[in-house]
Amino acid sequence: MLFEVWAESVPEKLKSDPLWNSKYYQLGMYLYDMVWEDCNKLKKDFRGLEVSRQLVRSAGSICANMEEAYGRGLGTADHVRILRISLGEARETQGWYLRARHLLPPDILERRLDVIGQIIALLVTSISTQSRKIKKKS
């Protein structure tokens, strides 16, 4: 499903939350829905079942940590620390998708890795920007 189509299906209540303004959060939620779909394919093979469990955990943690970080307050050291955890989970998810490459079609794998790459790039930029602002305050 294309991001734009998926975004239209997101409940307005979620879209009205200020966290929704973060593109990395939108992409993280989108990725999790794609993981959900992919697990239906992966679980048909005993090796894929194990990979799917890890994908659900790591991809779910990307968004969960973004939510927790936002709850700690923007521009705080704690916010940056938790975003770094989210970044680590995104990299782990990328690794699990690489491991799943034997069970997923190449076009699906490519699309998933593209979304994860975007999330990683946005998180790295946000972490860097916020870290510089925090250092200037000190």
CATH number at residue 41: 1.20.1440.60
**Predicted pLDDT of residue 3:** 95
Residue 71 belongs to some domain of the structure:
yes
**Predicted pLDDT of residue 1:** 84
Residue 52 belongs to some domain of the structure:
yes
Residue 17 belongs to some domain of the structure:
no
DSSP for 3-40 reads HHHHHHTS-HHHHTSGGGG-HHHHHHHHHHHHHHHHHH
Burial of 80 (0-12, 13-18, 19+ CB in 10 A): buried
Residues 15-68 pLDDT 10s: 999 999 999 999 999 999 999 999 999 999 999 999 999 999 999 999 999 999
- Torsion sign (Cα): 25, 31, 37, 42: negative
Residue 53 belongs to some domain of the structure:
yes
Residue 32 belongs to some domain of the structure:
yes
Count of residues making up the chain: 138
User: In whole numbers, what is the pLDDT of the chain averaged over residues?
Assistant: 95
Residue 72 belongs to some domain of the structure:
yes
Residue 7 belongs to some domain of the structure:
no
| Structural domain for 119, as ranges | 24-137
Structurally, the chain folds into a number of domains equal to 1
CA distance 90 to 60: 10
**Predicted pLDDT of residue 7:** 96
Q: Answer yes or no: pTM beyond 0.85.
A: yes
**Predicted pLDDT of residue 119:** 98
Residue 37 belongs to some domain of the structure:
yes
Does position 137 have pLDDT exceeding 90, yes or no?
Answer: no
